[in-house]
A = this chain, B = another copy of it.
Amino acid sequence: TIVRLLEEEQNRSSLLKGKKVLITAGPTQEKIDPVRYFTNPSTGKMGFALARQASLMGAEVTLVAGPVTLDTPPRVKRIDVTTAEEMYEAVTTEFSHHDIVIKSAAVADYRPKNKYEHKMKKSTGDYAVEMERTKDILMTLGERKTKQYLIGFAAETNDVEYYGEQKLRKKNLDAIVMNNVSAEGTGFAHDTNSSIYLTKEGKRLVLPLMSKDQLAQRILTEAAETVSGEAT
C-alpha cells in the first residue's frame, strides 16, 4: 500500500502536466478618493492555495491577484491588480490561452461612480455615494469560452445552493464551488473551507471542512480528470 500511495502521489503530481491554469484571487479595492475605498474581506488564501496546488500538479499557472499580503507560490506567474476594471483587463487578456480557469477572486460588483483625486473634506450631515456596476468578469468568460474549463465560486450567506446553481447556469460555468461564508471556519480569511462542488452535468460533491490546500487539490483533481476525459 505504500507503493500504491507513492504511485497516487506520482500520478497526482503530473495530473495537470502540459495544462495552463489561470486563477484569480483576493479582493478588489474601489476608491472614492485617495484615502477611502470599498472592498471585501477576501484575503486571497483560497486562490493562492489553488495556484500552489495546480503548480505542484504540473500545471503552468498564471495568478491574477488583488491587493493581498501573501507570497507568490513557486513557479507561478503573478499579475497584481487593484480594481475590478484592472482585474477584468488582466483576466480577459490571459483567458484565451488557458485550459482551466478558476475565478476565486472576490471582485467588487459595484464601484463609486465618481473618484476624487484629492481627499474629500467631510461636512456635517449625511451623503450618498453613487455606485455603478463593474464589468461582470465571470459572465464575460462564460460567453467567450471555447475549450476552457471554467470554474466559479459562490460566496453566500443564505440559500447557498439555490444561488450557486443559478450562477452556474446563468454564467455558463462548467463547475461551481459554493461556500456559506457565515458558517464556522468557512470562507474569508479562514485557513479552512467547507463547500459543495457542483458541475454543469449535475455531479454534486459535499466537501466537508478541510484546509484550503486540500480543497484546492480536490477541485483541481476533479477539473483535471474531466478535462482529460478520464472517468471520474
Contacts and interface: CB of A to CB of B under 8 A. Distances in A.
B39 A37 contact: yes
Contact of A119 (B132, B133, B157): B157
Contacts of A69: 69
A29 to B, nearest CB: 8
Contacts of A128: 128-131
A23 B36 CA distance: 22
A122 interface: yes
A3 interface: no
Interface residues of A, number: 39
Contacts of A108: 36
Interface string A111-152: 001000111011011111111110000000000000000000
A56 B163 CA distance: 53
Contact of A158 (B113, B118, B131, B182): B118
Contacts of A173: none
Contact of A126 (B113, B117, B155): B113
B119 A130 contact: no
B182 A34 contact: yes
B122 A131 contact: no
A188 B113 CA distance: 24
Give the 3 A-B residue pairs with the shortest CB-CB distance, closest first.
A128-B128, A109-B122, A129-B129
Interface of A: 32-41, 69, 106, 108-110, 113, 117-119, 121-122, 124-133, 155-158, 163, 181-182, 188
Given A38-B39, A110-B122, A128-B131, 6 more contacts: A37-B40, A113-B126, A118-B158, A119-B158, A126-B132, A128-B128
